[in-house]
Amino acid sequence: MTDKKLVIGVALPPLIVIAYSLLFKVDPITTLLHLSPYFTLSFFLAYLASNAVASVRDALLAKVPYSVAFKARLLGNAVGLVIPGALGGDLTRAVVYSKSVKLKLDEAFAISTVSAFYDVVIGSLMYLLLLIVQPRPLDVIFTLVALANILFWLTVIGYFAGTAGGKKNRLERLIFEKLRNYPEIERAYFRAKEIIKTKNTPLRVLQFSFLTVAEFAIQAMPLVYLFKHNYLVALLVNQLYFVSLLILIPAGSVSSEFALSTVLPPNLAISLRTLELVAFALGFVFIKEINLKHIQEELRRYGEVFKRAQPRTGG
User: pLDDT tens across 255-277, in order?
Assistant: 888 888 888 888 888 888 888 88
Higher pLDDT: 303 or 163? It is: 163
CA 254, 259, 261, 267 torsion-angle sign: negative
* Largest interatomic CA distance in the chain: 79
Question: Mean pLDDT, to the nearest integer, of 152-181?
Answer: 83
Note the pLDDT of residue 12. 60
Predicted local distance difference test score (pLDDT) of residue 32? 76
Q: What is the dihedral of CA 247, 251, 254, 255, to 10 degrees?
A: 30
- The C-alpha torsion from 268 through 245 and 79 to 11, rounded to 10°, is -60
Inter-residue contact 163 to 193 (CB < 8 Å):
yes
Is pLDDT larger for residue 170 or for residue 28?
A: 170
Q: Does residue 291 register a pLDDT over 70?
A: no
27 compared with 282, residue with greater pLDDT: 282
More confident residue, 210 or 28: 210
Angle at 108 (CA atoms; ends 282, 168), nearest 5 degrees: 145
pLDDT of 121 over the 90 cut: yes
Identify which has the larger pLDDT, 144 or 27.
Answer: 144
Q: What is the mean pLDDT of residues 134-139?
A: 84
Amino acid at 246: L
**Mean pLDDT lowest for which of 91-100, 107-116, 170-179, 304-313?**
304-313
Task: Give CA separation, 139 vs 116, 146, 174, 221, 227, in Å.
Answer: 23, 10, 41, 22, 18
Give phi and psi for 261, each to the nearest 5: -70, -20
User: CA 50, CA 73: separation in Å to the nearest integer?
Assistant: 11
The answer to whether residue 38 scores a pLDDT higher than 80 is yes
Q: What mean pLDDT is predicted for residues 271-293?
A: 83
88 has pLDDT over 80: no
State percent of the chain over pLDDT 90. Answer: 35
**Among the ranges given (68-82, 245-259, 293-307), the one the predictor scored with the smallest mean pLDDT:** 293-307
DSSP 312: P
Segment 275-286 shows an average pLDDT of 89
Mean pLDDT highest for which of 132-146, 166-180, 248-262?
132-146
> What is the pLDDT at residue 306?
47
| Pair 111, 62: CB distance under 8 Å | yes
Instruction: Look at residue 16 in the predicted model and tell me its pLDDT.
Output: 67
Residue 236 pLDDT > 90? yes
pLDDT for the residue numbered 251? 59
Candidates 37, 48, 110, 28; CA nearest to 283 is 48
Residue 297: per-residue pLDDT: 59
Q: How confident is the model at residue 315 (pLDDT cuts 50, 70, 90)?
A: very low
Give the residue-averaged pLDDT of 148-153.
Answer: 95
Question: Rounded to an integer, what distance in angstroms lies between the CA atom of residue 200 and that of residue 43?
Answer: 32
Compute the mean pLDDT over every residue in the chain, rounded to the nearest whole number. 82
* pLDDT score recorded for residue 238: 95
